[in-house]
Amino acid sequence: MKTYEKTKWDAPQILVQKFTPNEYVSTCGVTTYGKYLFKCDAPAGDLYYYPNGRGSAKKDWLGNPRGYYGSRSIEADGQYNYHPCSETHEANSTSDFFDGFVDYNENGFEDSGEAVMVWKEHKRWGGISFHATTKLGRDQWTTLKS
C-alpha cells in the first residue's frame, strides 16, 4: 500500500524584497550641539521605547516591530499612562534618547502613526521621567549651541 507523506508544516512567512534608491548621506553642515530644547508634546497613552534601538526589535515579514503570538512587544520597555507635560526641557544631546511609540490602540505593538522619540530624563534625586515628542528627527528640534 502506498503511504501518503504530508509536507512538514512551517510558519507561513513572506519575505519582502524592496528596491530602494541608495541613501544619500550628507556630511556638510554638521554641528556639535550642547543641548536640545525637547518639547514633551506627544499625545497621552501607553508609552514604549526600544532600549537597543528600533532596528533591534523583532520584526514581522513586513518589517513591523513584533512580539510573538499577540504578546506585548517584547523588545520594547513600557511605561503606562504617559501624559505629556507640555513643557520644553533642556536636554543634553548626549543623554538618553530612544525610538519609541505611544500605543494609542493598546494592542501592544507599534502601528503606523504611533512612533515617537523618547527622552529618558534622569532626575537629580535619582528618579526617572519619560518625555516624548512626535518630532522624530533631531534636526526638527530647537538646539542650544554649546
Residue 9 interacts with other proteins (CB under 8 A)? yes
Between 60 and 96, name the residue whose CB sits nearer to other proteins: 60
Q: Choose the stretch contacting other proteins; rule: CB under 8 A; options: 11-19, 25-33, 41-49, 86-94.
A: 11-19
Confirm if 88 and 141 have CB atoms less than 8 A apart: no
Long-range pairs for 63-72: beta carbons < 8 A, 24 or more residues apart: 63/16, 64/109, 64/110, 64/111, 65/109, 65/110, 66/109, 67/108, 67/109, 70/108, 71/108, 72/108, 72/109
Q: Which residues contact 86 (CB under 8 A, 6 or more apart)?
A: 39, 40, 41
CB of 58 to other proteins, least distance (A): 13
Angle at 30 between CA 26 and CA 33, to 5 degrees: 145
Q: How far is the CB of 77 from other proteins (least distance, A)?
A: 22
3-class secondary structure, 87: coil
Cell readout for 6 is 504530508
Shortest Cβ 85–other proteins spacing (Å): 27
Find the part of the chain contacting other proteins (CB under 8 A) among 14-22, 42-50, 76-84, 125-133.
Answer: 14-22
Count of residues that bind other proteins according to CB under 8 A: 25
- Which of 2, 23, 106, 125 forms a contact with other proteins (CB under 8 A)? 106
By three-state DSSP, how is residue 52 classified?
coil
In whole angstroms, the minimum distance from the beta carbon of 20 to other proteins comes to 7
**Contacting other proteins within 38-97 (CB under 8 A):** 60-63, 69-70
Interacting residues with other proteins (CB under 8 A): 5-20, 60-63, 69-70, 105-106, 111
